[in-house]
Amino acid sequence: MAQELDTKQIALLATHGFEQSELEEPLIALREAGAEVAIISLEAGEIRGWHDGDWGESIPVDATIDEVDARGFDALLIPGGVLNPDKLRMNPAVVEFVHAFFAQHKPVASICHGPWLLAEADVIRGRKLTSYGSIKTDLKNAGANWMDQEVVVDNGLVTSRNPGDLDAFCAKMLEAFKIGTQKGQVASPERHRAQRDGSKRPRPRA
């Protein structure tokens, strides 16, 4: 897969409490494949990971959510960690950013607790996916067809359960990101709550 993604711009969305391995291993795989990856978060500076029950290493943020637009990227990666998606899904601009990738038929990969954010964006109704087992009910209630498999691929949506699935997750992520847009990758037909409430949309990327 070396350099097969050298024209791709990937958004990696995370904040404090991301699961260290679930960010680092896909990030390495993407960069080895030639992709340019931007770490996007709620605030500028650095975000700190979570590893083996304690705080792990920090990574620099490339852009804040208010500085980007989904139109500037080819695909989206959302790592897990309990704290990470729970913080992200409380931010309307983040939720709208995620929703936009589905509206634009772009591939999205998410692992572990990451699909929590997909549920908040209302983009998983009728979609096949997996996740960490403890959020299974939340995803089913959001309309997903939840499956207990190491990796599930559904028209550009790639999901896995936990760090033990990372090899399979990374392989399918690279395949989906190489393919690019897929007609079956769609957002909910309903307008997202953030739009109905008049929330500010992320500014176009410079």
| Residues with active-site annotation | 112-113
Q: Would you say 114 and 144 are in contact if contact means Cβ atoms under 8 Å apart?
A: no
Q: 88 is written with which tokens?
A: 């992200």
SS3 24: helix
Q: Would you say 26 and 158 are in contact if contact means Cβ atoms under 8 Å apart?
A: no
Helix or strand (DSSP H, E) at 36: strand 36-41
CA distance 178 to 142: 28
Amino acid in the structure at residue 13: L
Q: Would you say 188 and 104 are in contact if contact means Cβ atoms under 8 Å apart?
A: no
